[in-house]
Amino acid sequence: MPAILEVQHLVKKYGEFTAVNDISFEIQQGEIFSLLGPNGAGKTTTISMLSTLYAPSAGDATIAGHSITKDPMSVRQVIGVVPQDLALYEDLTARENLIFWGQMYGINGKDLNRRVDEVLEQIGLTEKAKNRIKTYSGGMKRRVNIGVGLLHKPRLLFMDEPTVGIDPQSRRSILDTVKTLNQQGMTVLYTTHYMEEAAELSHRVGIIDHGQMIALGTQEELTRQVGQTDTLILHLDANDDPQALADAMKVLPGVREATASEHQVSLITPKAEDVLALVVAKASERGIKIRSLDIREPNLEAVFLNLTGRALRD
Amino acid sequence: MQKMLLIGLKDLRLAFRDRAALILMLLAPFLLTLGMGFVTGRFSGNADSGLSDIPVILVNLDNAQLGNALVETFSGESLAALVEPTQADSPAAARQLIDENQAAAAVIIPEGFTESVIPTAQMLSKQAEPAALQIEIYVNPTAPTSAGVIKAIVDEFLSRVEQGRITATTSILGIPGIEQMSSGQIETLAKQMFSGSDADAALSSPAIALNTGEQGADAVKFDPLAYLAPGMALMFLMYTVSYGGRSILMEKAQGTLPRLLVSPTDSWQILGGKALGIFLTGFAQMGILILASALLFQVRWGDPLGMVVLLAAAVFGASGWGMLITAAARSAGQVGAIGSAVMLMFGILGGSFINLEQMPPFIRTLSGITPNAWGLDGFTTLALGGTLTDLARPIIALLVMGAVLFAAAALLFSRSNVMKR
Amino acid sequence: MTKILAILRKDALVRFSGFSELLFFIILPILFTFLLSGGTPNGKQDQRIRLLVVDEAQTTLSAQIITELENSSAVRPEPMTRKQAQEQFDQRRVAAVFIIPAGLDVDSLQTGGASVDLRKQPNNLNATIIERAIQTALRKVSSVINAANNAVAQREKNAPFASEAEKTAYFDQALKNARALQENSPQRVTVLQASTPDQVEYDPRANSSAGQLITWVFIPLFGISELFAYERVTGTLRRLLTTPTHKMTYLFGTIVGQVAMALVQMLLLVGFGSLVMGLNWSRDPLALGLMLLASALAAAAIGTAMGTFVKTTGQANGLSIMAGMVMALMGGCWYPLELFPPAVQSLVKVFPTTWAMQGLLDLALRGRGVVDILPEVGALLGFATLFFALGIWRFRYE
């Protein structure tokens, strides 16, 4: 099957600063591809170039055969964009928004009305379609935001961090929507800094950090890179200092990496069972109570940690 | 109490950090005052009547005593600042210039004008008064006020001429044996009298003396900016007070208001603090504008104590309006829109733009609801040399206005759910 | 193009989504036009300047003076008690108060020392006009007495009177003659309005109608900057650029949409001026349409240029209102240009509002046609070209 998206050595510089440094990857038709990376990694810049918003400083990409540098208008016809920040007219109703954007995609007349009805159905807002967007909850607004990207039946859908800052229910609904769309044949490029989402949704993942693609492949391929490692997560009390504990854990034999985050310490170790006793002893030695323990099989978080020495989330 | 002050000061700081708000709070009234200064001629040093160097075209076909006298009048010292006369050769040329919008009016003195005025034997015998020759004033319709001034000058000239004629004729008529004199003799006599009466100043001025006194003319020379600058400042004060109110509703949307509400702070303290914030911001705004115009435009504002008290009263009254609008509105956007509309309405009703003299009485009464009208009244009194005691009426009115409006706002707030947890 | 219409529709829906826009679109402009034209919708009310007259003499002479004033074309005398008049004067509700003191009669005139008082508000143009009008009236009233006095003096020079009675008789006769002469005083001045193709009556309210039209249309057109800022801030502009819609289509559609709405607004205000205020706007529809279009384009262009550097809608809103008001003031929209000092009259030609106002007044007051307003149209189109070029060249899409 031909790749629907081919990115070739894409570069974006702002003066001295290089935001995207020679990125190349492909997306196959019908897959969900996640671009995973911490804030500031260059995900949004990459997706902005691919949506023909910014011109690349170097490199090119083709989407369904059209080059983003030479034929951006055709590219726009085949891509759908769901930006991170809501890009809707709050004073208009959902229906009015969809109609306008449909018209901007060149859909008109009866076709437009039909498509708008279909999309409203797809995002589950048929009943509330006549209300102004400003009266919607955050989750509902996000759904309309997605709906706009679907109107013209794009071949490739870009979704840029669609679940940032929303409640768990809406997030669940969005993730389900993405899966459903994909089942209906939509190819999706999904950027996120939430590992769980990338893990749940994607066929393949590209891990990006400081503007560079540091890992690319299916989840199995990636986790295999870090070899056999478990992640041991210690949940601490609010009053305890995770960083101090992490520093103490680092020196333990069998602990490869120890990182502190809010009320928890994550340890990378080849086999969790082997270090468990030492870890618990070290904690009680320092008078820190471990409230609970998680043992996690290797995952993308671990991959990232392994590659960069830092956590995905800061 | 202290919490109120803290909230108020916080709002004051926020307001002055908002660059967008500063545009309308400070920049706009400042620029408008500057503009007014140019427009009224205050900066070009000719603020006496707002009209100067009116261009007028003179055509003197008479070339005799009266025609020349009229041209003299226009070219003379006393009218030097007011009019700018130029001569044209022919009536057609003069009218052309007016048609081309080159001057306010053309004054065309017909040939034989002097002759037609000086009493002749015919006139004296009261037989067949010859049709009087008329001076034509050809007026530019887009400059009615200027043309009006020209017309007034010509009218005054003619009334003096007429007076001279009547005086001379009356004297001649009374001379015993006038019926026996020959036409020639009469004419010579008439000419003599006429020239004589012209030269006699006592006869060419009215017997009734007109004493004019400008209010406080000895004391202070009135500066138009002393009226216009506060007018603009007061108008934009209304913007400021509604801006402050907007922040209450914005805080509700932003979430900082609920946070305040769950802190150990009484909701009345919060509202009071907000109201104080509005007051302080308004006071600061007016203060800055007044200082700026005093320093940059040399506007003499008058008695400082009276100024401060008047300012406080005006801001108090305006703040009442701000709070009322906020209490009645449902969203920050609404407050903004209503606030702008009210700002403009009060500006015009309160006399910031135009003198209220020419307005029908009901509008003059309506202006009493605006802080602008009372404030302007007070500022003008100050500029003319008044002191605190002279400001009793406007200050009391403003305080009453503020008190009533605050009470109404409080009532509305207690009923609405803005302050509900 | 359907996309342009789609943009137009979207902008109209967004703009008029709340009632408050109607306020600024039509309600306030009409209100302002009405108020600034003296609160008189049909101009039938007496336009003369109010003058309060306190007649404490109540003699035939004082009555004569007041009659003269009533005949004046400049002032409208209003009788009042001294107390009332003083109150109104102190509240600055009137430009001047004219007081005829007790004892003013023909005798005092003869003996000399007759005087009347005029209290004027300082720095008030109306007060100055009032003063002149009163001087003229006084002169008229006293001239006959003057003339009679003079006749007596002249006669006495040549042949002294035999007795007081003779003198009085002579005086009375002279007075009669003088009065007769005055009554038959011919009209020595005629006022003609500059020739206009049609009979155009001067109407001072044309100033306010034209001035308010320009003010209230220019401000929202400057507000195009706010539109751009809004779309930039909400991200809809960015999104638009990912659709197969050209940048120029967006710009063109947005600007044309706002210009169209402005034209509608102007037509509503012109309609109000014509139908309700009875002004003469519909004389030359082609010329009027040309003027309105050129003005709208100039204002839209400035709004577009402003949109290149404002960052938030709040900034844009404040700037449009400020720029609109300042330009309106300087362009003669609130106070007639003829009242400006001559140097300033030339200076304000840098503002498009000055040209727009001039053009509209040419149409309404001087009865001009298309050919005559071409200079103004040209200037406005010049502004439009310059600022559109600037705005489009520097347009930031985020």
This complex has an ipTM of: 0.80
Q: What share of chain B is helix, strand, coil (3-state, %, to 5)?
A: 70, 5, 25
- Do C235 and A83 count as a contact with CB atoms less than 8 A apart? yes
Look at residues C101, C127, C144 and tell me which one is the last residue of a structural domain: C144
**Choice between B220 and A189, residue whose per-residue pLDDT is larger:** A189
Q: What is the pLDDT of residue B45?
A: 59
Percent of chain C with pLDDT over 70: 93
Question: Which range among B48-52, B353-357, C202-206, C352-356 has the greatest average pLDDT?
Answer: C352-356
Q: What is the pLDDT of residue B216?
A: 43
- How does residue B263 score in pLDDT terms, banded at 50, 70 and 90? low
Among residues A167, A216, A195, the alpha carbon closest in space to that of A27 is found at: A216
For residues C393 and C387, give the distance between their C-alpha atoms in angstroms, rounded to a whole number. Answer: 10
The residue among C242, C252, C396, C398 with the most chain A CBs within 10 A of its CB, best to mutate, is C242
Residues B354 and B278 in one domain: yes
Q: What is the pLDDT of residue A168?
A: 85
- Phi, psi for residue C244 in degrees, rounded to 5: -75, 50
Q: What is the pLDDT of residue C388?
A: 93
Residues B285 and B381 in one domain: yes
Residues C227 and C257 in one domain: yes
| Identity of residue C278 | G
Residues C235 and C383 in one domain: yes
Of A88, A103, A106, the CB nearest to C236: A88
**What are residue B135's DSSP bridge partners?**
C189
Q: What is the pLDDT of residue B220?
A: 46
Look at residues B171, B204, B237 and tell me which one is the last residue of a structural domain: B204
Of C3, C239, C244, the CB nearest to A77: C244
What does each C-alpha distance from C300 to B152, C15, C253, C294, C374 come to in angstroms? 43, 16, 12, 10, 20
pLDDT digits (tens, 9 = 90+) for B131-181: 678 888 888 877 877 887 888 788 888 888 887 788 877 777 777 666 666
For residues C121 and C93, give the distance between their C-alpha atoms in angstroms, rounded to a whole number. Answer: 10
Residues B24 and B108 in one domain: no
Residues B363 and B286 in one domain: yes
The residue among A68, A86, A99, A103 with the most chain C CBs within 10 A of its CB, best to mutate, is A103
- Do C50 and B358 count as a contact with CB atoms less than 8 A apart? yes
Q: What is the pLDDT of residue C358?
A: 92
For residues A162 and A150, the answer to whether their CB atoms sit within 8 Å is no
| Identity of residue C113 | G
The string of DSSP letters for C239-276 reads HHTTTT--HHHHHHHHHHHHHHHHHHHHHHHHHIIIII
For residues B388 and B307, the answer to whether their CB atoms sit within 8 Å is no
Task: Let me know the angle formed at the C-alpha of A78 by A72 and A79, rounded to the nearest 5 degrees.
Answer: 85
Residue C102 lies in a domain: yes
- Phi, psi for residue C48 in degrees, rounded to 5: -70, 160
- Do C244 and A81 count as a contact with CB atoms less than 8 A apart? no
Residue-range domains of chain A with CATH: 3-219 (3.40.50.300), 228-297 (3.30.70.980)
Checking DSSP bridges between strand A156-160 and strand A187-192, what pairing results, if any? parallel
Show the domain range for B197. 54-204
Residues C6 and C72 in one domain: no
On chain C, the residues whose CB falls within 8 A of the CB of A83 are 235, 238-239
With a CB cutoff of 8 Å and minimum separation 6, the contacts of A85 are: C235
Among residues C131, C71, C63, C70, the alpha carbon closest in space to that of C97 is found at: C131
C282 touching B, CB under 8 A?
no
For residues C237 and C386, give the distance between their C-alpha atoms in angstroms, rounded to a whole number. Answer: 24
pLDDT reading at B266 higher than 90: no
Residue B257 lies in a domain: yes
Looking at the complex, report in whole angstroms how far the Cα of residue A57 sits from the nearest Cα belonging to chain C. Answer: 18
Residues B32 and B102 in one domain: no
Residue B137 lies in a domain: yes
C2 touching A, CB under 8 A?
yes
For residues B78 and B74, give the distance between their C-alpha atoms in angstroms, rounded to a whole number. Answer: 9
C234 touching A, CB under 8 A?
yes
On chain B, the residues whose CB falls within 8 A of the CB of C344 are 38-39, 41, 44
Residues C8 and C140 in one domain: no
pLDDT digits (tens, 9 = 90+) for A272-296: 888 888 888 888 888 888 888 888 7
- How does residue C63 score in pLDDT terms, banded at 50, 70 and 90? confident
Look at residues C144, C167, C188 and tell me which one is the last residue of a structural domain: C144
Q: Return the number of other C-beta atoms located less than 10 Å from residue A256's C-beta.
A: 16
On chain B, the residues whose CB falls within 8 A of the CB of C189 are 134-137, 151, 154-155, 158
Residue C161 lies in a domain: no
Residues C298 and C358 in one domain: yes
Q: What is the pLDDT of residue C173?
A: 82
Lowest mean pLDDT, pick from B83-87, B188-192, C42-46, C78-82:
C42-46
What chain A residue is nearest to C9 in terms of C-alpha separation?
A100
Residue B218 lies in a domain: no
Residue B172 lies in a domain: yes
For residues B122 and B130, the answer to whether their CB atoms sit within 8 Å is yes
Residues C238 and C296 in one domain: yes
pLDDT reading at C39 higher than 90: no
Q: What is the pLDDT of residue A88?
A: 93
Mean pLDDT of C320-344: 88
Residues C16 and C94 in one domain: no
For residues C313 and B337, the answer to whether their CB atoms sit within 8 Å is no
Reduced to 3 states (helix: H, G, I; strand: E, B; else coil), residue A253 is coil
Residues B260 and B174 in one domain: no
Among residues B244, B251, B302, B301, the alpha carbon closest in space to that of B277 is found at: B244
B201 touching C, CB under 8 A?
no
Show the domain range for C133. 49-144
Residues B261 and B403 in one domain: yes
pLDDT reading at B77 higher than 50: yes
| Residue A291 token pair | 């409230």
Residue C83 lies in a domain: yes
Percent of chain B with pLDDT over 90: 14
For residues C348 and C340, give the distance between their C-alpha atoms in angstroms, rounded to a whole number. Answer: 10
Instruction: Please give the span between the terminal C-alpha atoms of chain C, in angstroms, as a whole number.
Output: 25
Residues C36 and C104 in one domain: no
Residues C265 and C283 in one domain: yes
Domain count for chain B, please give it: 2
Q: What is the pLDDT of residue C354?
A: 95
Residue B48 lies in a domain: no
For residues B370 and B113, give the distance between their C-alpha atoms in angstroms, rounded to a whole number. Answer: 56
Q: What is the pLDDT of residue A25?
A: 92
Residues B244 and B323 in one domain: yes
Residues C8 and C63 in one domain: no
For residues C194 and C361, the answer to whether their CB atoms sit within 8 Å is no
Which residues, given as ranges, of chain A have pLDDT below 50?
A: none
Of C177, C338, C361, the CB nearest to B173: C177
| Identity of residue B72 | E
Reduced to 3 states (helix: H, G, I; strand: E, B; else coil), residue A141 is helix
C45 touching B, CB under 8 A?
yes
Residues B71 and B159 in one domain: yes
Look at residues C109, C144, C179 and tell me which one is the last residue of a structural domain: C144
CATH number assigned to the domain comprising residue C115:
3.40.1710.10
Lowest mean pLDDT, pick from A123-127, A133-137, C120-124, C288-292:
C120-124
- Classify residue C12 as exposed, middle or buried by CB count within 10 Å of its CB (0-12, 13-18, 19+): middle
- How does residue B119 score in pLDDT terms, banded at 50, 70 and 90? low
Checking DSSP bridges between strand C96-100 and strand C49-55, what pairing results, if any? parallel
pLDDT reading at B395 higher than 80: yes
Residues B36 and B129 in one domain: no
Domain count for chain C, please give it: 2
Reduced to 3 states (helix: H, G, I; strand: E, B; else coil), residue C75 is strand
Residue C398 lies in a domain: no
On chain C, the residues whose CB falls within 8 A of the CB of A132 are 17
Residues C6 and C93 in one domain: no
CATH number assigned to the domain comprising residue B126:
3.40.1710
Residues B37 and B97 in one domain: no
Residues B238 and B140 in one domain: no
Q: What is the pTM of this model?
A: 0.81
Residues C330 and C261 in one domain: yes
What chain C residue is nearest to B95 in terms of C-alpha separation?
C194
Looking at the complex, report in whole angstroms how far the Cα of residue A160 sits from the nearest Cα belonging to chain C. Answer: 12
